[in-house]
Structure 1
């Protein structure tokens, strides 16, 4: 039987495997540290599951890289984390962080399954998706048990099916605004919650960062996250709907070095990239013009911050280059290949 894996990796397959590998090295560092500091014996197995999953993913992807003579990314190593450092985040926040991680991983692996074709690569993304769903189940169930899971707002069930008859459904800047739709509420809730998690994480990371320019960049990100929380919360509060709670009390007072500045800036940059995607999805799902316009007005601010994170990583030599296509014009002109 023909070996269906004996074909070249496509650009999409390289991208997915490379990104997943880098991210799993980061997850390995963070969960190794969490495991050393967790106190709740019910949270410990969830962290162990996440760490074991990251190690398994690294092995699977590493085997494909070796088979295809693909240079194995450096990512993050033991040098980027001090697992013996004092506790930085509460057990409750660790659990919330892992739940958020599962959401991001489910989205990424689902997207990759739509563009990869080689059988062994497809199987890897299926495994990643399955494990991320299991992590979501584990974190959700434990948070429900512990009373820390925050549900989206409840609204009344419609009496009947209705169809939009007037353009007023789209208005939002002038005159009477229609009530928020369930879809708009969902995106507002998720973006508030995501910004709260980001704000707490950034605050903690700023506390243990070493370089002053990294601290200043993180403080700017913290202010931006708080600003966005207030903007989105206002929409819910105006409709007498509850907004998600913050996690500011989830951080201890330690200032000891926990993670390298390289890991910190990369992690924040990745969160920002995910945030841009969330805003784009929310914009597309929000017919009320004032809400869509608000998301659109925030995207440039977020992307500029992401660019500043990238510039700092480039300046410090921290940014690993993803696989790129050949520079055909350069090859034709005989220009030397980049080192």
Structure 2
């Protein structure tokens, strides 16, 4: 009987492993900077745990790649981080950053488990998912203990179960509007929070980046993030609901380069991709027309921003190609 690990990797398995490898090399670079500068001894174990997980993942994936004769991606190396640079983020922000990254890891590996079939790859993604859940618990508990965890708003418990009786439930442009549902509030809160974290990261990157074109790109991203924060916050404020806090004060005044421009551009691109996914999910979960269409109108803006970022990365030779299907037409020509 053929050993299951000798079965060829599917396109989905190549994709999930390749993406995870690139992301873990980035996590190692970022984690090394955080570990070098951490001051809060309660935060240190979270950074050490993240680095250990990322390095274990890389080792496991390298073994799979070698068995398959699959070229090991370059991703990011020690050349992409300057450990001698001054501290760039507060320890409170580091915790929030890791919490956000664990959310993305949970989503990515849940999706991966729905596509992969080879036993060793399934086992790998199960472990990564378990580690992501563990990191989410670890960071949440510490932030709750330190009083830095920002909870979504509270609303009143319904008096009874009810059903929608009028089309007014879907309205949003004319006449009176119904109150936001708990689902709509949840997505608005999440998208304010992710934009706030993204804006803080981009601001810090813009302070330290080397290339002027990249700097201007980041400044534009900061403006887009603030615009989206204001839009989503206005929906909350009209319902007398609190919006999440800004993280801008968690950045130091350092202008010394910490991360390479290549790493910064990739990190921003990954955040944009996650944001587009969040907006799509929010649009599908928001029955009120004005909210759903607002998400729909914002997606092209950030998609265009993502395309401009990809063009900058291509121009500088920073965009590593993912595995691709054979170009049969080209093979025939050759």
* TM-score computed with the length of structure 1 as normaliser: 0.98
Residues 213-236 of structure 1 deviation map (CA, whole Å, 9 limit, x = unaligned): 111000000000000000000000
CA drift at 1:3: 1.1
CA drift at 1:257: 1.0
Question: Partners of 2:201 and 2:331 in 1: how far apart?
Answer: 45
Give SS of 1:5's match.
Answer: helix
Per the alignment, residue 33 of structure 1 pairs with: 33
Runs (4+) of structure 1 exceeding 3 A deviation are none
Question: Partners of 1:6 and 1:247 in 2: how far apart?
Answer: 48
Within-5 A mapping of 1:143-162: 143-162=143-162
CA drift at 1:264: 0.4
Question: Partners of 1:135 and 1:218 in 2: how far apart?
Answer: 29
CA drift at 1:133: 0.3
Residues 145-167 of structure 1 deviation map (CA, whole Å, 9 limit, x = unaligned): 00000000000111111011111
Count of paired positions: 334
Per the alignment, residue 124 of structure 2 pairs with: 124
Per the alignment, residue 297 of structure 1 pairs with: 297
Per the alignment, residue 242 of structure 1 pairs with: 242
Per the alignment, residue 277 of structure 2 pairs with: 277
Structure 2 spans left out of the alignment, 5+ residues = none
Give SS of 2:126's match.
Answer: helix
Residues 39-63 of structure 1 deviation map (CA, whole Å, 9 limit, x = unaligned): 0000000000001000000001110
Per the alignment, residue 75 of structure 2 pairs with: 75
Per the alignment, residue 18 of structure 1 pairs with: 18
CA drift at 1:247: 0.8
**1:307 and 2:302 aligned:** no
Question: Partners of 2:303 and 2:270 in 1: how far apart?
Answer: 11
Structure 1 spans left out of the alignment, 5+ residues = 335-339
Within-5 A mapping of 1:93-132: 93-132=93-132
CA drift at 1:84: 1.7
CA drift at 1:2: 3.8
Residues 244-275 of structure 1 deviation map (CA, whole Å, 9 limit, x = unaligned): 00011101111111000000011001100000
CA drift at 1:5: 1.1
Within-5 A mapping of 1:43-54: 43-54=43-54
Per the alignment, residue 194 of structure 2 pairs with: 194
Per the alignment, residue 178 of structure 2 pairs with: 178
Question: Partners of 2:84 and 2:52 in 1: how far apart?
Answer: 19
CA drift at 1:331: 1.1
**1:323 and 2:323 aligned:** yes
Per the alignment, residue 337 of structure 1 pairs with: none
Question: Partners of 1:245 and 1:50 in 2: how far apart?
Answer: 25
Per the alignment, residue 85 of structure 1 pairs with: 85
Question: Partners of 1:211 and 1:96 in 2: how far apart?
Answer: 28
Per the alignment, residue 288 of structure 1 pairs with: 288
Give SS of 1:34's match.
Answer: helix
CA drift at 1:83: 1.3
Per the alignment, residue 165 of structure 2 pairs with: 165
Within-5 A mapping of 1:50-69: 50-69=50-69
Per the alignment, residue 216 of structure 1 pairs with: 216
**1:140 and 2:140 aligned:** yes
CA drift at 1:330: 1.1
Give SS of 2:4's match.
Answer: coil
Give SS of 1:160's match.
Answer: coil
